[in-house]
Structure 1
Amino acid sequence: MEMKLDLEHTGVLLFDLQIGEADETHTHDYFQLSVPMSGNLLTYHNHKELKLENNQSLLVPPGDIHQHEAYQNQKRIMLISFNEDIVQKVYEDRTGDKLHSIDFSPIQHVSTNLVHKAKSLIQSASFHGVEEAMNLEEEFTSAILDHSMGSHSQGWHRNDQLHYTNEPHIVHRLIEFIHDQYYNQLSLEVMAMHMNMSKYHLHRTFTKHMGVTPVNYLHQIRLKTAVSLLLQSKYDITQAAFEVGYRSLSTFNRAFKNVYQQTPSQYVKNHRFK
């Protein structure tokens, strides 16, 4: 089932490709972010083959040739489009500066927050009309710039420095980042790089306000999600562990037992059918 929304400066398209099916090789006069919604996706960018993992997306600039192909099974794909005008406006409104060039890294990490905002944009248009959705274009573009890497990143995030004396703001931003990226290989160093802060300052500030360290908070989010998967689905313990971001089953088991005082298998046995 295809869902499509075309606004003045942005757009969202959700569509399916059947096994072995590919769309036509094509270009656009706007930026386009291709997000796999159902596993890995085979893409071609300027005739170069790129296999996107389920946590990767492809961002192509205007004029670049690209194509999508369902090479193993049916694929659901989200396409997010936006033009240079809206990027320039949103960037200037936030920073007070103009972007001299607009370039993005071709391979981006998938942001669940951005995907949710794209779906919300479609829902807003469906329930309240396209005019209402158009009022959200700048907010949507801000989310795109928040969750993408490119020539805008340094200036875009520089304003975050203004909030560094506002510790609740720091904590709130890190919580959002952890919830958005918990399934990836996060560490205190990665968190500090994202926040553009020292590990020490970030660790101290977060622990002061939350009562737990950033890494322990990450474990909490991962474990709560794992419990939900184990009790409400057919995931086995190994699948659940890797789904929520653990790369070692022993690390998952140890973290689980520290929180729930029993192993994952014991917990499932005691709770799944209650």
Structure 2
Amino acid sequence: MEETSKFQIDKTKKERIIYQNQLLHYGLYMPEPEKCYWTDIPWHWHDEFEFGYIVSGSILYKTNHHEYTLRRGDGIFINSGTLHSLHRQETAEEMALCSQFFDRSFLAGSSGSIYDLKYMMPVQERKRLDARPLYQGNPSDAVFLERLQEGIRLSQEKAPFFELRVRSLFSELWETVYSWAMEGREEDSAFDSEEDARIKKMLSLIRENYSEKITAAMLADAVHISERECYRVFRKILGITPGEFLVSIRLQKAQELLWNTDQSILEIALETGFGTGSYFCKIFKENHHITPNQYRRLKRK
């Protein structure tokens, strides 16, 4: 396997896709076996449309409104701008995911073209189509999944004209995606755009200040709502409290430091806002079922 696009999540929890070729706004991400991302992927969003395919294991996808457990051979469509997270359902060695990304220009060409206005924007604006699971046991989904695998193969082989072939493949698949969007038009009135903007801003504040003391009251003040409303929004959209999300971000940063640096457990605990080494070890083991030192030893093996 190879990694053909990189992932970066900025301070607003927006994931920025860095394409290997800036002239082709399409990317394939396939983690190398020794770099397999076995930990949960926290809440984030991106402008690109995403088509995920489960290579092995099972993954729980969460969006503002839905949860889907996908297993080997299943896939999923994630709409542009959708806040989502991924949670492993198997051990690290058993989970692998590859995703294909592209923005509107990949299929539509220039912004404002007839392809963009007629076919791309209506899907992007259909906010209730946040995600669409694809199950290999469903005959119609199975055909879609086969085409996704074909896109992966084309991108890996990079034979002459593969760019044209991948674009043609997704142009055909887009007819199905467009039909999903049209089926959900009557549900759009239930989508609260202001609420979506508030949660993204609060996530941004936590991301920027995860090592400091952050309270629900501080988050509420930042988006001009009550503390009670802050808790309600977090519970409704993410299914967790602001404090639980803060811990998840601290753990994510701690994992990066354990994996990529030689800092001591105490140094990492202080840098990530846990305060003491013993408290950090306790929370880490509760969430990952191994100690920080055991996690670090995985790299050495």
Q: Which TM-score applies when normalising by structure 2?
A: 0.34
Q: TM-score, normalised by structure 1?
A: 0.37
